[in-house]
Amino acid sequence: MVLLGPPGAGKGTQAARISDRLAVPAISTGDIFRANVAEQTELGRRAQRYMDAGEYVPDEVTNAMVRDRLGQSDATGGFLLDGYPRTADQVAELDGMLADAGQRLDAVVEITADTDEVVTRLLRRAAEQGRPDDTEVVIRRRLEVYAEQTAPLADLYAERDLLVQVDGIGEVDEVTDRIMTALEPRLG
């Protein structure tokens, strides 16, 4: 399955919980990029300037990384993607990867939250975790890029009858329960 939602909607937090409950790995492209930046790998060097500016890392870089990750043995029985796909090109690439592996998506969960709420949460996370892309200017840019390039993907998955929308406002446990309840009929 795929988790969609603006920065600050709680995707990472919920991905970890849903991954536990469903016993499938949570694969976060943002986490993989951050680990590569920290280790100063070639991938990290290519990604960092985009991340620092709140822009998307180019599709060819991101797609190759995800293809590699989904090819690892722990992903054969299913996985939860957090933060991928984020562009129409990535959707097409993911379709290709799934077809090659004989897999299909069960659901795309969109966690919704309004802009004021996500900005407040991201500024709080900035104070707590010091993520370099959590400054107010970069947060605004990340939200703009999300609105332009990623929000439209919800319609695309709705047309495929895969979209489940869940209100991301509320206690963490409450949101997890909403997601699990919404997923139940789809996971069989």
User: Distance between CA atoms of 137 and 145, rounded to whole angstroms?
Assistant: 13
10 is in an annotated binding site: yes
- The window from 53-61, 93-101, 118-126, 179-187 that contacts ligand AMP (CB under 6 A) reads 53-61
Which is the catalytic residue, given 125, 140, 141, 186?
125
184 is in an annotated binding site: no
Give the pairing of strands 2-4 and 80-82: parallel
* Residue 142 annotated as catalytic: yes
Q: Bridge partners of 3?
A: 82, 109
How far separated are the first and last CA of the chain, in Å rounded? 13
**Least distance between ligand AMP and beta carbon 4 (Å):** 11
Q: Does 50 show up as a binding residue in the annotation?
A: no
CA distance 15 to 22: 10
Interactions with ligand AMP, residue window 33-52 (CB under 6 A): 33, 50-51
Distance of CA 160 to the CA centre of its chain: 19
User: Is 5 a binder of ligand AMP (CB under 6 A)?
Assistant: no
Measured on CA atoms in the order 147, 167, 124, 20, is the torsion positive or negative?
A: negative
* Nearest to ligand AMP of 27, 175 (CB atom): 27
Binding mask 126-165 for ligand AMP (x = CB under 6 A): -------x--------x-----------------------
Catalytic positions are 11, 86, 125, 131, 142
